[in-house]
Each structure stands twice: as C-alpha cells, then as structure tokens.
Structure 1
C-alpha cells in the first residue's frame, strides 16, 4: 500500500482559510435527527428501532426486570469523553404511556460507570429535556444509552428526536484552542500549480475545490534540513493564527514491499536524529502531526529483527513529540480497514508507543468511506480496551469509497474537507488531492508525489 512522496515546495505568500469559530462547542452525537435512518444507533434485540416521521421509534416490550433489559443507544463511533469538561445532553421525547425512564452517558465497558445518570418521565406530549453536567470519565470508549425497561405496565412505544451531546469546552481542549482554524498550505502542490497556470481552463475549478482547502504537508528526505523546513512551515501557520497539519514520512525501509514510495532515512540513528529535530522545531506551537503512514501496517516483507528495529524508532518518535512538542496532537498511523485486522493493529499501536501521544490515524492516502474508517477505528479501540485513543480519518479522496485498487484508481472523489468531529476526532485531508500515487492507474507516467491537474479534476468530478 504505497503512499505519496511530497514534492519540494517554494516560499510564496500566505493564503488563509476562513473557518467558523474554532472555539465553538463540539457535537458528539452522530445522526441525532433521524431524518431517514437509525444508523449508527443500536438497541437490544427486544426493542426494535425504526424511523417514524423523522423521529426514532422504539417498540418497548413489557415484563422486563431491569431498565437496561430494554434499551438503545449510540456508541459508533465511540464517544470521546474527558474529565472536568462541561457537557450538555438534550433531546425531545414522548411515549404512548406515562413512563419513568433512564438516560446515561457512560463508559462502554463493564461495570459501565456513568458520568451522567438521569431519570426522566415521558408521556403522550412531546417534551424537551436537557441537562448540563461536568465529565468524570477520561475515555475514547463512551456511549449514550436510553434504558426503557424494568417498569410496571405493559409494552409501549417511545419516540425521541433531536438528540444532542455537546462538549461545551472551548475548542474541546485541542490545539485549535490556540488558533483560529485549520491552516491552508499556500505552497501545496495544487496551490503552486494554480498560481503558475492562471490561463488553464482547469485552474478556477482546482483552486476552488482543492487549493484553497486545508491539507497536510509531508516532510521527508526531500525537505532538506528538517528543523529549518518544519520551523518555517510551523512559523508561517503560527503567524497566521492557524493550525497546521504535518506528516512525518522518513522511516528507514519505507514501503518495504516494493511499492512506489520507497526510501527513508539511511539508518535508525539517522532517523532518530531527524525526528528529534522535527519535534524540536515545532516546540510549543500548536500542530497536528501524523507519524509515519504505513509503518505499522507494512510488516509483510519484514523479518522479526527489522520489525523490532522499526518499533524502536517509532516508539522513540512518540516520545519526542510527547516531550518536546506539548501543544502537538500526534497520531500514529494505523493503516486502513482493508489491510490489518483491528486486533492485530491494536497490538502494534500499543507496542509502538500509542500511550505517549494523542491517538491514531486511519485511511491515509486511501479511499475507504468515513463510515468504514470509523467502524475500523472503533474496532481497534475495542481491542485496546482501557487504552483506547481518539483517531482521525483521511477524507481527501474517499468521497466515492474504494473500488479495491490503491494506486490512482479511476472513479474516486474528494471527501469532506478538514473539520472537527464528523465521526472521528477530526476529518483531515492528509493525502494532497491531485498528487500521484505513482506510475500506475489513471496516473500512468506520473511519478509519486507529482501534482497532476488531470488527477485533480478526476477527484473533483468523481469521474
């Protein structure tokens, strides 16, 4: 599963991305309005769910002993909850009979401790319910439940709509607290192409759809002195009061199974020097960093000794960001849903220092839908158990999902631009749209990392 090689960049004027207030509260619930589907809400088998007039309808049985014997909730993706943060849970609810029911915001693991545990009464009149509370859990494995059983009386129908769980804390504690939105790289390959090709018929389309959107900059051997390169990029973003996204891509033996993006530092010691300088150059300035795409998934062509050496290097990298870049959220790459089983990946992440950093990344330079990626990330977190972490998803080219090909496949499309939430902690453009995966697919003859306006237009149109 090879990845891109980023091209060298030129120092050109800044271009900024206007985003909504970065300090706005963050919605944690997926599909709380039930316009057409119950996904991703779940229920016990005796309490079937359906959509009824734009509301969630739960058919509740009679004769259950406990409230949790008939219940439904939302945990996909698992909710990330934090201690000492302000949250507000709200919804509209009614029922065919007067019933006292229970809602919780809790850990999705035995013994299911709750940070909110609230009884409320419903009847035939739709009413609005709302509670603001302070979080007592620190977990990436949370859930919201509605527990409808264990009551005197027969079966009844329960309706709910407009379910919202909001993290009221400014910026949700992210590096966005220190900035005013995501940074648009003014020197990305598509931005440079747009500036240099003002007369091309494709320029306006590429500028509007790609070049003016936030995306990551990749750093590797092509970057020259890494301290200077990272420091310059971070400094420009900091001066603009924006949050930059960086990808560290220089692990020795990169793309070990013979793909288009081979390379990396010449030795383990050289890599450690390089990644230490990378983290030092960021310092206390806010940033998001993706650590070594593919490095934990691409083990098939490596022997035990090589794997141990790689793990040692990645562990060292996580410690560098932990120790030297306190306002950086670093994510260790976890491949994609079609590559390594979630349980296996969880073990690899743990061994490589996941505990030292913010979380992990999924789908870098690939095409799996956000829902597939979220399901995979949730499965990884289930295997991680109490060590579960937040994750981010690369949505740069996943608008049409995957067709099973990885190298410049036809028919792919741009995905949702950078945002907080959206099913993961963040959705990010990590692969630069329009940059070739290599001499393959509809990018035949275009080297890895080279921008192609034709590839860019294919992604814009989904053709």
Structure 2
C-alpha cells in the first residue's frame, strides 16, 4: 500500500511507501526490537520506492517479457525489462469502447498501485491533418461529449493528461479545416478536465523542429487555454534530445510570460533524431533505426520550468507502416522495442 499525497507547493504528487508508515507505527508501540531481544546487527536494505508514475503490469512489453522467458530468450527478456518496468502513458483515441469505464478501470489500477497515471488524449476532429492516416471524432459536438465522459472516469483521482498531440502546432500550420473550432474545442477540453479537481493538464506544443515562430505558437496555445492548464508538452512521439527541448520550452514559456511550465517526452530520444528528412525512403520521424530509450520518467528532473520527463509515446509501438514489413501505427513491434532498449544507456 502506498499513500498518495498532493503537495501544492511542489506541483506534484509524492508517494509515501506504506512501509515507512508501518515502521513509524511500530516504533511508537512501546518496546523496540532491542528490548524484545531481537538481533539487529545484520544490515537491512529496504526495497527501492516504486516509480511515481504508473507502471502497467500488463503492458505489451511485460507480456513480451513473459513470452520470451518461456521461449528461452532470457537475455532479450532481461533487456526488454528496461521498458516493461518503467512508466508509460496510456493513449485514448476514441472508438466504440466506453471511455468512462476505460479511464475508471485504468485509474483504479493505478490507485491500487499508489502511482499517478499518465493519459494521452488524441481524438480531436481532423486530427493528424491526414499524415499517415486520419482519425478523431466526427464532429465537435461528439468530441465534447467524449471529453465529458472521459472526465467522468477520473472521479477526483490524481492523473496527468497530455492533451491532443499535434493539435495546436497543426493549427499554427493552418492545415486544420476549421481553425476556430479546433482552438475552442481544446479550450473546452482543458476546462472540463480541470473541473475534475485532480487532473494536471498539458497542451501539446510539438517540438523544436516543428514551429520555429514561438510567438505565433504561444498565441495559439493561449487561445487553446494553456493558461488554465498546467502547461504544455514537448517532443511527444519524437526523438529530439532533452536539452534541445528544454531550450525551446524556455523560449515558448518566455513568449507566454515566463511562468508557464512544461513536460518532455523522453521515451525514444536517447540517441537523438535520425539525420536527414528521410531514412530508407521513409520520413525520419517514422520508426527510424538506431534510436534508443531516453531518460527515465521522473517528476523531479531538476530542470528549470520542467515539471516532469515522461514516456508519452510507448517505446516499441510502430509509428506507421512506412517501410515494407513495418506494422501499422500503434501496433506493438517487439523487435523495434528491443532495439530501443539495447541502445539505452542503462
């Protein structure tokens, strides 16, 4: 059991392992171990605290580790634990499944684990601007109903939400058919999610190589409700190095007044981006070879204005069928995951 405590001054949830509480209770119950004749000469090392963010024990990587161990791929299974034992976000992309129940089930498991889950909302109408597929809610009204159902599943439990990857940068690029509706829907989504009283919301702002005009991006983020949110997110599903995202984040935060904070996706940026616009005839952002896991998720990155480093893109899920034999977008690809884990520093 882990007790979850929200500390407003830190803007994050701290986890107090149940063992700490138990030790305190035992020490106050009269008669320490020495008084009872117990030998305490042997050193005792408590287990490491669990990650702050939720680790899904039934993730694709965890299931693959089990399969590989049974098949005798013990070394590969051990390497893949670099993914299966670390927290990643859950993506909510619409569809027929009741989103309220899906969110409730996921947050229930995170609450039992004493950890804070990370959700990614990716269902705005006209999402992706037809890049390698399409999707999203059919209408703005459908999206608003879906967001309210999703928020109902939170039920006052702590959660971090990354809102609509690419939605604001696409608006700045003006590839969105209804620009005004896009920004109003995002602003409404921020308000609905913040009304839960438990969600920390970060509007996606792309990455340093997408929108160079930070003043225009800041204006669009403002219209989308970033000042009512907890900040913005950078590098979602991309490979740019953390230091480059921090510098870009500071420029964007300054354009917003200097006090807006942000989070960074470090799931696959260990080796930085692939060189050039294409790799083997496909876009360099789509399953580029030679990449690696980045820094571990943490809510204490020690970086100015950075609230957290997160694994927002799940390492090992395909970016799309960009080359012959590659899986469709979002499909688990174990060998690519293994390559990312092998390339990681530790």
User: Aligned equivalents of 2:327 and 2:79: distance in 1?
Assistant: 18
Between the two proteins, the alignment pairs up a number of residues equal to 296
- SS of the aligned residue for 2:58 comes to coil
Distance apart, 1:344 and its partner CA: 1.9
- SS of the aligned residue for 1:275 comes to helix
Counterpart residue number, 2:13 = 175
Counterpart residue number, 2:309 = 427
Structure showing greater radius of gyration is 1
State whether structure 2 residue 200 is matched by structure 1 residue 329: yes
- SS of the aligned residue for 1:284 comes to coil
Q: Tell me: CA distance 1:227–1:253, structure 2 relative to 1, closer, same or farther (3 Å).
A: same
TM-score by length of 2: 0.79
Counterpart residue number, 1:412 = 291
Counterpart residue number, 2:330 = 449
CA RMSD across the alignment? 2.6
Q: Tell me: CA distance 1:178–1:322, structure 2 relative to 1, closer, same or farther (3 Å).
A: farther
Distance apart, 1:186 and its partner CA: 2.0
Counterpart residue number, 1:234 = 107
User: Aligned equivalents of 1:312 and 1:237: distance in 2?
Assistant: 31
| Stretch moving more, 400-409 or 204-213 | 204-213
Distance apart, 1:421 and its partner CA: 3.1
- SS of the aligned residue for 2:167 comes to coil
Distance apart, 1:237 and its partner CA: 0.4
Distance apart, 1:173 and its partner CA: 3.5
String of CA shifts for 1:290-323, please: whole Å, max 9, x gaps. Answer: 00111111233635x6111111111110000111
Specify which structure has the higher proportion of helix. Answer: 2
State whether structure 2 residue 267 is matched by structure 1 residue 396: yes
Kept in 2, the 8 Å contact 1:206–1:453? The answer is no
Kept in 2, the 8 Å contact 1:246–1:290? The answer is yes
Counterpart residue number, 1:6 = none
Distance apart, 1:191 and its partner CA: 2.1
Kept in 1, the 8 Å contact 2:80–2:337? The answer is no
State whether structure 2 residue 346 is matched by structure 1 residue 461: no
Kept in 2, the 8 Å contact 1:245–1:287? The answer is yes
Counterpart residue number, 1:124 = none
State whether structure 2 residue 219 is matched by structure 1 residue 219: no
User: Aligned equivalents of 1:239 and 1:412: distance in 2?
Assistant: 34
User: Aligned equivalents of 1:171 and 1:384: distance in 2?
Assistant: 21
User: Aligned equivalents of 1:277 and 1:340: distance in 2?
Assistant: 32
Counterpart residue number, 1:285 = 157
Q: Tell me: CA distance 1:224–1:310, structure 2 relative to 1, closer, same or farther (3 Å).
A: same
Distance apart, 1:398 and its partner CA: 0.4
Structure number with greater CO (CA < 8 Å, separation at least 6) is: 1
- SS of the aligned residue for 2:257 comes to helix
Distance apart, 1:449 and its partner CA: 0.7
For residues 18-417 of structure 1, the aligned pairs below 5 Å read 172-176=10-14, 181-198=52-69, 199=71, 201=73, 203-222=76-95, 224-256=97-129, 258-299=130-171, 300=173, 302=175, 306-323=178-195, 325-341=196-212, 342-385=214-257, 388-403=259-274, 404=276, 405-417=284-296
Specify which structure has the higher proportion of strand. Answer: 1
- After superposing on structure 2, the runs of 4+ consecutive aligned residues of structure 1 that deviate more than 4 Å are 177-180
List alignment gaps of at least 5 residues for structure 1: 1-15, 24-168
Distance apart, 1:239 and its partner CA: 1.6
String of CA shifts for 1:270-300, please: whole Å, max 9, x gaps. Answer: 1001111111211210111100111111233
Kept in 2, the 8 Å contact 1:178–1:286? The answer is no
TM-score by length of 1: 0.60
User: Aligned equivalents of 1:373 and 1:253: distance in 2?
Assistant: 26
